[in-house]
Amino acid sequence: MHLCIPLTCILAAYCYFLGGVIILSTKISRYDIISQQEKQLRYTIREGEKKSPWIKSQLSKAGLTANDIKTREDLQKMPFTTKQDLRDNYPFGLLACPLEDVVRFHASSGTTGKSTVVYYTQEDINTWAGLMARVLKTTGLTNKDTMQIIYTYGFFTGGFGFHYGAERLGISVIPSGAGNSKKQLEIMKDFKTTSFTSTPSYALHLAEVADEMGVDPEKDLSLRQGVFGAEPWTEKIRERIEQAFDIDAYDNYGLSELCGPGVACECEEKNGMHFWEDYFILEVIDPDTGEVLQDGEKGELVFTPLWRQAMPLIRYRTGDISRIMDDECTCSLPFKKIERITGRSDDMLIIKGVNIFPSQIEEVISQHPEFRGHYQIIVEKEGAMDGLTICMEVTENLFSGNLKDLLQVQKELENSMRSTFFISSKIKLVEEGAIPRSMGKAKRVIDNRRNKK
C-alpha cells in the first residue's frame, strides 16, 4: 500500500487495520482526508506517468506533466477516461505493470456493449479485500456471522469481491454462487446462514421460492441481514426483501473498472452510501457538458482510484447518476455519502421527448400495494410515435377475483404514470412468475426502437 507514512501514523491512533486498509472507528477531520487524497493523487499521477502508457498519453494530451497535478482542483485539468477508452485499449492497453505481476483478471458484465477487462496485482487484490471488509463491517457484519455469497464467481467481480472481503473480516463464507434457488434455501437452513448477498432482484426471486417451498424465514432460517447491489433498486424493493426474509437489507455500490464491489455502502442508517474517500476521489459532473458540479447536485459519478497498481485510472466516467449528500450521518464514519444510484446516463429512455430512468418508473409502480417487485419496460414504435408498455407482476388473488378489480388497478397505475411523466403508457398486469428471472442483474428494459434502426 502506498499510504503516506506520517499521516498513516496519525490515523492509526483512531483506527485499526484490515489487510492494509484502514477501518476508521471515529471521526477524523475533513482536512486530514483531503490531505491524504492529495498526497495519494500526486503519487498515483507520478507513478502513472512512469509506468502507465495510458496515463502518460492522457497527460500529454492535456499538455501536462505529473508535476502539474498536485491538488483536487488540478485534477480537473486531466481528460476523462471512458468505457470506450477501455474497449479501445482491449485487452492490455491500460496495463501499468509487467504482465507477470498480474495475478487476476476480471471483466465487466458487458450489459451496455463489449465487456471490458480489468487487471489486479496481488497488492491490488489485498487492498480490494480490505475495502470489501470495510463494506461488510459497515453493514454490521462480524466474525460471528455466516455469509452465503449468491453471486457468480467468474469474470463478474461480485462473487470474488465479497468472498475475499468476508474472509478478511473473519466471516464464515459459504461460496454457493448464483442459481439453484431451492438448494440455496436448504443451505441457508442447514448452515444457519446469518447473511446473504445477491442482486436485489434475485433476492426477491429467492423469497418467492421460499414461499413455494413453505420455508418460513422467521422460524426456519437464522438470517439477520443482507447486502445487495450491482443493479438499481428502490426503497419499496428494500421493504419487500426485508419483510420477506425478516432482515435488514443494505445497499452497496461498485463497478469492475474500479475494482468491483467495495466502493460505497450503507451504514445502519440506510440512507445513502458512504464512499471510501481515502481510496477514491469522487467528482460529480454534468453528463452533457463535463462541468464539475457542487456537492448536492445530481450528475454522473467520476472516480479516480488512488491505490491501483496494475490498472490506475484517472477520472473514470462511470455513467452512474447520483449526488454527493451534504448532510452529516449519525454513524461514526467520517466519509461522505452518495445517494442511491438512480440509473446510468446511458440507461435513460427518451419517450415522446420525455427523459425517464427505469428506476423512476419503478418508483411509481412500486407504490401500488398489488405490485410484486418484478417488472419489465417495453418501448417500441407505434407508427411514428414511441409507445411505452409496463408489464408488472401483481398478486395472484387479483386474477382469481373480479375482472373489474383488475381493470381498476390498471387504470390507477396508468393515471399515476400520466400524472408523473405527462405521457400515456399501457400497463399490462401479469401473474407472478410471468417475467423471466435472472440469476444476476435483472433485464428491466426492452427497447425495440433500437432494434428497428
Q: Residues interacting with ligand DLL, by CB under 6 A? A: 108-109, 156-158, 229-232, 251-256, 260-261, 318, 320, 341, 344
DSSP 321-338: EE-EE-SPPSSS--S-EE
- Measured from the CB atom, is 157 or 184 closer to ligand DLL? 157
The DSSP H or E segment spanning 317 is strand 316-322
Least spacing, CB of residue 238 vs ligand DLL, in Å:
11
Task: Report the residue closest to ligand DLL, judged by CB.
Answer: 229
Sorted by sequence, the CB contacts under 8 Å of residue 309 that are 6+ apart come out as 96, 97, 101, 121, 123, 124
- Measured from the CB atom, is 24 or 263 closer to ligand DLL? 263
Least spacing, CB of residue 169 vs ligand DLL, in Å:
16
- Measured from the CB atom, is 230 or 282 closer to ligand DLL? 230
Least spacing, CB of residue 312 vs ligand DLL, in Å:
18
CA torsion sign for 304, 308, 312, 316 is: negative
Sorted by sequence, the CB contacts under 8 Å of residue 139 that are 6+ apart come out as 225, 227, 250, 252, 265, 266, 267, 268
Number of CB atoms found within 10 A of residue 360's CB: 16
- Nearest alpha carbon to residue 312 among 64, 146, 118: 118
Pairing of strands 371-382, 445-447: parallel
What phi and psi, each to the nearest 5 degrees, are found at residue 399?
-85, -25
- Nearest alpha carbon to residue 218 among 202, 242, 198: 242
Distances (CA, A) of 28 to 71, 139, 334, 365: 20, 20, 6, 42
- Measured from the CB atom, is 112 or 367 closer to ligand DLL? 112
- Nearest alpha carbon to residue 356 among 348, 364, 344: 348
The DSSP H or E segment spanning 227 is strand 225-229
- Measured from the CB atom, is 176 or 256 closer to ligand DLL? 256
- Measured from the CB atom, is 254 or 312 closer to ligand DLL? 254
DSSP 248-302: EEEEEEEETTTTEEEEEEE-TT-SSEEE-TTTEEEEEE-TTT-PBPPTT--EEEE
- Measured from the CB atom, is 108 or 195 closer to ligand DLL? 108
Least spacing, CB of residue 402 vs ligand DLL, in Å:
38
Give alpha helix (H) positions in 313-452: 358-365, 397-400, 403-421, 448-451
Least spacing, CB of residue 58 vs ligand DLL, in Å:
21
Least spacing, CB of residue 435 vs ligand DLL, in Å:
19
Cell 443451505, residue? Answer: 187
- Measured from the CB atom, is 303 or 421 closer to ligand DLL? 303
Type of residue numbered 345: S
Least spacing, CB of residue 183 vs ligand DLL, in Å:
21
- Measured from the CB atom, is 11 or 365 closer to ligand DLL? 365
Least spacing, CB of residue 244 vs ligand DLL, in Å:
19
Least spacing, CB of residue 366 vs ligand DLL, in Å:
15
